[in-house]
Structure 1
Amino acid sequence: MSQQRVTSVISSHGWNSECTILAVCPNNNEIHLYEVVSGENTLSRTTTLQQHRQLVSSISWNRGGSFVSCSHDSTAFVWSLEGDRWTPEPVFTRLKLAALCVRWSPCGGKLAIASGEKRICISHYEKEQKRWVSKPFRRCHSSSVVAIAWHPGGALLASTSTDGRCKIFNAALPGIDGQGQAPGAFGDVLIDVEAGIGWGHAVAWSPSGCQLVVSSHGPALQFLCGLYGSSAASLQPEAAGRQLLHHVQLPLRCVAFLSETSVVGAGFDGQVFLFERDGEGVWSYARSLSPEPAMRIDGGGRRGAISAAFSAKLAMFRSPAKKDRTREQPLLSAEGAAAVAPGHDNAVVDLQVFTDAAGTPTGRFSTAGWDGRVLLWDAGKGATETEESGEGRAEGLIKAPTGVLTKHCPNRLLFDPVGTCD
């Protein structure tokens, strides 16, 4: 078995709906596909895709087994498996600057692509032309659009930008979504609010589509509740339906709903945090799912203490002999990896929540970060059941030449590109 080194940074990742194929961008123009081999409990790299010319910024799968990728070279490709080969089909985005985020609609018939050109394009497959065509919004943001999220109904699209705004658009295409799916006409701005404090990082809808959360660089989370969408007026949340939650963690690069009353977020801290809503509809910080001690949070949003994770990183810079990440790393057993690598040790930049066939979150999700790791987490049913330690569980693969896939083991590394691979 040959051994080779891969990069130690991950910029984006994505799982297919069956959780049998993992697509990873190792912070360059490539996409690496890893397949879970049934019966052997192994994960091996099967394909390397190199259609893009610059950094792959986002990956999104649909339930049909295809996925879409976009890049800083302003291109996007829809990848489909034909036989044993992945075939790319270009999306005519008509963009001149970098494509920063792409998301497949819940119905699987549309794509939303956000760019550094201050634009959002909605793409669909035109049967007569036999290609993916795009239609941009007439009015969009005044700066780069960094994150987008589809409403569960597929007719609304939420976005956030470096201009510090969060907007909800009518993204219903005539002939695809039907009539009366969303108020107004295609491209109309239905909501335009502040993302929080500073520029936005991430945006996500609740499973019912009645709530929206936006993460900003403040750091803060902005919650919008009561978004029923029957008319443009009903989408405008009242003052009581908006809540700005300050937190003392470093900004969260990615957020997602696990249920109507729980939100998970991760970012520059390298930890995964859980936020919950009480019976009165008030959101607050719940706990850290990472094994490292969580920071204290007070009511005024002031830093209560320096986290152990930050202290460890600070000590690394003070050390006369720093560890070289590019140096060959010793292979770890499952027990050894669980002890030294229980979670991320660098910023988390991507998060994907797993859902069932009906699109309901199962409580499991994966995170990818600048440490080159992909971790699989289980927050429990509805993210309300906790272990006695109060920590979440990360489980999965110890990347070694044997490729052993361990299941139901707490705080296990799922995928570590710093090690060797097949």
Structure 2
Amino acid sequence: MEKHSFGVEPITCHAWNKDRSQVAVSANSQMVDIYQKKGNTWVKQSTLGEHTQRVTSIDWAPNSNKIVTCGSDRNAYVWSLNGNNEWKPSLVILRINRAATCVRWSPKEDKFAVGSGARLVSICYFEQENDWWVSKHIKKPIRSTVTTVDWHPNNILLACGSTDFKVRVFSAYVKEIEDKPNPTSWGKKLPFGACLKEFSFRGGWIHSVSFDSSGTRLAWVGHDSTLNVGCGGEDANAVNFFLNSLPCLTLQWVGPSTIVAGGHDCELMRFRVDDKNKITFEGKVGIVKKKAAGAVSAMAKFKNMDKKATTEDDSKKASVHQNSINQLNIHTGAKEAVTKLSSVGMDGQMVIWDQSSLEASVGGMKI
């Protein structure tokens, strides 16, 4: 496990380049900093400064040197390196009147999806004649801010979660740039914008969604402290797992039947999903044993009770992250077999978890 600090500001989002030698980070501002790995340290190489308000999401194309960013200024930019090794932005015509909240490249990198507070998703693709990125809108039946999106492995289907307590799977087939898609377990007819599946939610907006490696199952976490897994089919219902913790903000499949999630509890949690989508909690990840505390005076106990409503001194948590975990990204491997995972949080830290550190543990003991 590696820990890296980029200052005291919360890290909102991050993204890796293809060979993981560079990382793009936004520390709760309108800037995106690109760091290069040199030895055991990260050195700032460039700053992307086109946004005028806070950057909300970053994604680095998995197989090419293109970065897409979006922000509260209602804009998105596609950044490419020019001949002078400088990052230059390309115009994206989003046509939205509210903040852009999330962005993801499609697996084939020929389009990307931008969720927004305008109650829609913009599917953006490059128009060669005008040398810019244009968009098509998926609107109905979305009724509130889109908070998270994830692409199906077939490059056609898109899952999105929103603050109307719904998770939906749409067709994002763009006939101008791709061939007619094949039928899937989520639906056979796939015209652009078709809502193929809608999962109603019990009582919380959606923070993160993720397809598994096969694209047959979809997992998401919500603000009512639940982890949920659903699949396609008219009669298929989601399976809910109620967490004994604060809500999770992000999740990632790390194997065919394994999910890692994290959020306001500052800890990563590992879950197992069986063939019937039954969810089993395996344990917490990366818990550090606290050193045995010495004798605490009665006065110190009373002070802690007065200030924190507890007799415990919790100034340093047992978790690796010391504040909420905002985002998980795959560092090494793919969803069917992740060997390294990265997390960023409100504590300004980026943590790279290797396979051994991702094993579930409770109280510092592996299980």
**What residue is the counterpart of 1:362 in the other structure?**
338
Counterpart code for 2:20: C
Q: Deviation per CA, 1:333-372, whole angstroms, max 9, x where unpaired? A: xxxxxx999611111111112354x774423111111111
Q: Distance in 1 between matches of 2:154 and 2:139?
A: 22
State the match for 1:42 in structure 2: 41
Per the alignment, residue 218 of structure 2 pairs with 212
Report the alpha carbon displacement of residue 152 of structure 1 after superposing the two structures with TM.
1.0
| CA distance 1:45–1:316, shift in 2 (3 Å) | farther
* Cα pair 2:119 2:144 within 8 Å, conserved: yes
Tell me the SS of whatever aligns to 1:19: coil
User: Where does 1:37-186 land on structure 2 (aligned, <5 Å)?
Assistant: 37=38, 40-62=39-61, 63-82=63-82, 83-181=84-182, 183-186=189-192
User: How many Å separate the matches in 2 of 1:20 and 1:196?
Assistant: 42
Identity over the aligned pairs, expressed in percent? 28
1:409 maps to: none
Query: Could you tell me which residue of structure 2 aligns to residue 343 of structure 1?
Result: 320
Pairs within 5 Å for 1:233-248: 235-239=233-237, 242-248=238-244
**Contact 1:155–1:177 (8 Å) recurs in 2:** no
How far 1:256 moved relative to its partner?
1.0
Give me the whole-angstrom Cα distance separating, in 2, the residues matched to 1:364 and 1:317.
Answer: 39
Instruction: Report SS of the residue matched to 1:103.
Output: strand
Contact 1:273 1:287 in 2 (8 A): yes
Instruction: Pick the aligned partner of 1:254 from 237, 240, 250.
Output: 250
Match of 2:230 in 1: 224
Q: Unaligned regions of 5+ residues in structure 1, if any?
A: 228-234, 294-313, 320-338, 393-422
Matched-pair contact (CA < 8 Å) for 1:56–1:70: yes
Deviations 1:299-331 (A, max 9, x none): xxxxxxxxxxxxxxx889549xxxxxxxxxxxx
Find the residue that maps to 1:51 and give its secondary structure.
Answer: coil
What amino acid is aligned across from residue 252 of structure 2 in structure 1? Answer: A
C-alpha separation in 2, matches of 1:386 and 1:379: 13
Give, in angstroms, the shift of residue 180 of structure 1.
2.7
**Partners of 2:321 and 2:281 in 1: CA distance:** 20
Q: Does 1:270 align with 2:247?
A: no
TM-score between the two structures when normalised by the length of structure 1 = 0.74
- The answer to whether the 8 Å contact 1:261/1:276 transfers is yes
Distance 1:386 1:219 in 2: 20
**What is the letter of the counterpart of residue 223 of structure 2?**
H
Instruction: Give the 3 Å change call, closer, same or farther, for CA 120–281 of structure 1 in structure 2.
Output: closer
Q: CA deviation at 1:279?
A: 6.2
For residues 216-251 of structure 1, the C-alpha deviation after alignment (integer angstroms, 9 at most, x for no partner) is 1111112113x3xxxxxxx43524xx3111111111
Change (3 A) 1:159 1:171: same
Q: What do you get for the CA RMSD once the two structures are aligned?
A: 2.8
Pair 390,67 (structure 1): closer, same or farther in 2 beyond 3 Å: farther
Query: Which of 285, 295, 299 in structure 1 is aligned with 2:281?
Result: 285
Q: Distance in 1 between matches of 2:26 and 2:306?
A: 27
Distance change (3 Å), C-alpha of 1:281 and 1:35? same
For 1:111, what is the secondary structure of its paired residue? strand
Q: Distance in 2 between matches of 1:223 and 1:93?
A: 31
**One-letter code aligned to 2:222:** S
Q: Kindly tell me: are residues 236 and 365 of structure 1, through their superposed partners in 2, closer, same or farther at Cα, counting changes over 3 Å?
A: farther
Query: Whole-Å Cα distance in 2 between the matches of residues 220 and 342 of structure 1?
Result: 21
> Post-superposition, which runs of at least 4 consecutive aligned residues in structure 1 deviate over 3 A?
278-281, 314-319, 339-342, 358-361, 383-392
